[in-house]
């Protein structure tokens, strides 16, 4: 099947390459000519495991191409709309200008029978509004939300845990759903649930999923605050809760909270849309979810300050991690960098290291010190802070090796990812988040 993917940012580039890898003829389109040139050369413009290999293979096979001309989308049977929806400047609502611009630019190139599949995360009601613009084109709009995890995006595209398609309950909508079922044929045949809903429900699924995930993460971080006050251990608490099949252990890891380009903005936009619909009270708890999340960054900084006896100025602090999560170079709203910047603001000599995000971090925060090599960052440090749980830090770094490099054996585990007993046994002053 011939497809176009409109918008070649994180979502679109991965989707285009993945669809080509399963046999579709895909063209990726973006207004950023530099990004298109990078992708067309077989180079991923961001770090994502397996993406570079898919790009090279897709380009070599002829099934994948990229263009900065919307006219090159003509002739595709399915057009995936994958442009970004950031927060509006100065507010919490989603900025839909890029969705509208891309949609309007695509309209002249549509044919009767074409399917536009929205993948962008949008406020409920967006699809209904866009559908009115298709009158006279013979094309049909469906909404097909994405559920990608950075660092696992290729895996999640090729082997999703569910596929959701929202469509109108008419003949055109039914035909469009059939087309999407064919597009995702490999996943459907392997048993992936294929859920058909109305447009509004499909739009709500992504926002609701992110709201639930953010709530679960912030819940355990709220429990970390209580555990610290009560002298309890939040890690053991999470283990006990996790054995309850109604709750589960996944995403009950207390730490410095979530970040990235999706979860924070999406829960804020979700709440903003609820306000517009006159139901803001239904998701009022999301404001506290957001507040709890941000407080954990404050707490991590305070733990470092306390561990150093309140004497932070001029002290060398090694910050292990810059990306908001491992297996990514994304620093958008990164709790890791936020902690580093705050420590620098207190006068500390901060040295940040990260396996993938150094260049992005240095461009955004040149006031920080950087080291590409982990051991160089550790050398002569008065304290160490783990803020991104890369394997290089949580699994491959031994307390003995680190102890031979640092000046002071103080470690703050911002992700509760280390074996506290092992580090303490090696003579380290270990501090976790919500742990005794």
Residues involved in catalysis: 262
CA dist 430 and 321 (Å) reads 18
Place of tokens 């909508």: 173
Is 335:387 a contact under the CB 8 Å cutoff?
Answer: yes
Cα(113)–Cα(99) distance, integer angstroms: 21
CB 409 within 8 A of CB 428: yes
Beta sheet of 25-29, edge-to-edge order: 64-67, 25-29, 2-6, 78-81, 115-118, 140-143, 163-166, 194-197
Can you tell me the distance from the alpha carbon of 143 to that of 151, in angstroms, rounded to the nearest whole number?
Answer: 24
> By three-state DSSP, how is residue 62 classified?
coil
Cα–Cα distance measured from residue 317 to residue 383, given in angstroms and rounded to the nearest whole number: 5
Q: Are 255 and 433 in contact (CB under 8 A)?
A: yes
- Say if residues 167 and 177 touch (Cβ distance below 8 Å): yes
Question: What secondary structure letter does DSSP report for 244?
Answer: S
- Which of 132, 157, 130, 158 minimizes the C-alpha distance to 146? 157
CB 360 within 8 A of CB 340: no
Dihedral over Cα of 68, 70, 71, 73: its sign: positive
Q: Where are the alpha helices (DSSP H) in 231-357?
A: 234-242, 263-276, 285-307, 335-345
Helix (H, G, I), strand (E, B) or coil at 258: coil
Task: Enumerate helices (H) and strands (E) in the chain, giving the number of each.
Answer: 18, 14
β-pairing, 2-6 vs 25-29, is: parallel
């Amino acid at each position: 099947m011939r497809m176009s993917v409109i918008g070649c940012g994180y979502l679109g580039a991965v989707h285009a390459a993945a669809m080509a890898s399963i046999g579709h003829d895909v063209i990726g389109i973006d207004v950023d000519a530099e990004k298109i040139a990078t992708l067309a050369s077989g180079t991923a413009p961001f770090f994502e495991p397996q993406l570079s290999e898919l790009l090279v293979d897709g380009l070599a096979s002829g099934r994948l191409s990229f263009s900065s001309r919307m006219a090159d989308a003509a002739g595709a049977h399915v057009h995936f709309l994958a442009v970004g929806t950031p927060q509006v400047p100065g507010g919490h609502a989603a900025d839909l200008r890029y969705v509208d611009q891309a949609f309007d630019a695509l309209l002249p190139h549509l044919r009767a029978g074409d399917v536009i599949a929205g993948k962008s995360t949008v406020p409920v009601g967006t699809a209904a509004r866009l559908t009115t613009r298709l009158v006279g084109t013979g094309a049909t709009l469906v909404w097909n939300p994405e559920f990608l995890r950075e660092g696992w995006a290729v895996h999640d595209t090729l082997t999703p845990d569910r596929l959701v398609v929202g469509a109108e309950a008419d003949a055109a909508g039914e035909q469009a759903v059939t087309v999407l079922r064919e597009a995702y044929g490999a996943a459907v045949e392997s048993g992936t649930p294929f859920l058909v809903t109305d447009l509004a429900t499909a739009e709500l699924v992504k926002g609701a999923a992110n709201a639930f995930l953010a709530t679960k993460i912030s819940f355990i971080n709220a429990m970390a605050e209580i555990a610290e006050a009560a002298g309890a251990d939040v890690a053991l608490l999470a283990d006990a809760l996790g054995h309850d099949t109604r709750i589960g252990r996944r995403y009950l890891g207390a730490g410095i909270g979530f970040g990235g380009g999706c979860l924070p903005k999406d829960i804020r936009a979700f709440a903003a849309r609820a306000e517009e619909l006159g139901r803001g009270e239904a998701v009022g708890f999301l404001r506290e979810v957001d507040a709890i999340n941000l407080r954990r960054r404050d707490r991590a900084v305070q733990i470092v300050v306390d561990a150093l006896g309140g004497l932070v100025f001029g002290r060398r602090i090694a910050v292990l991690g810059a990306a908001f999560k491992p297996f990514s170079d994304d620093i958008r709203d990164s709790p890791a960098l936020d902690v580093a910047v705050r420590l620098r603001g207190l006068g500390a000599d901060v040295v940040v290291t990260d396996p993938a995000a150094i260049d992005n971090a240095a461009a955004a925060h040149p006031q920080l010190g950087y080291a590409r090599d982990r051991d160089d960052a550790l050398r002569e440090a008065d304290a160490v802070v783990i803020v991104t749980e890369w394997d290089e830090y949580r699994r491959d770094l031994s307390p003995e090796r680190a102890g031979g490099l640092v000046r002071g054996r103080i470690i703050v585990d911002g992700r509760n990812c280390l074996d506290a007993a092992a580090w303490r046994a090696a003579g380290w002053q270990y501090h976790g988040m919500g742990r005794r």
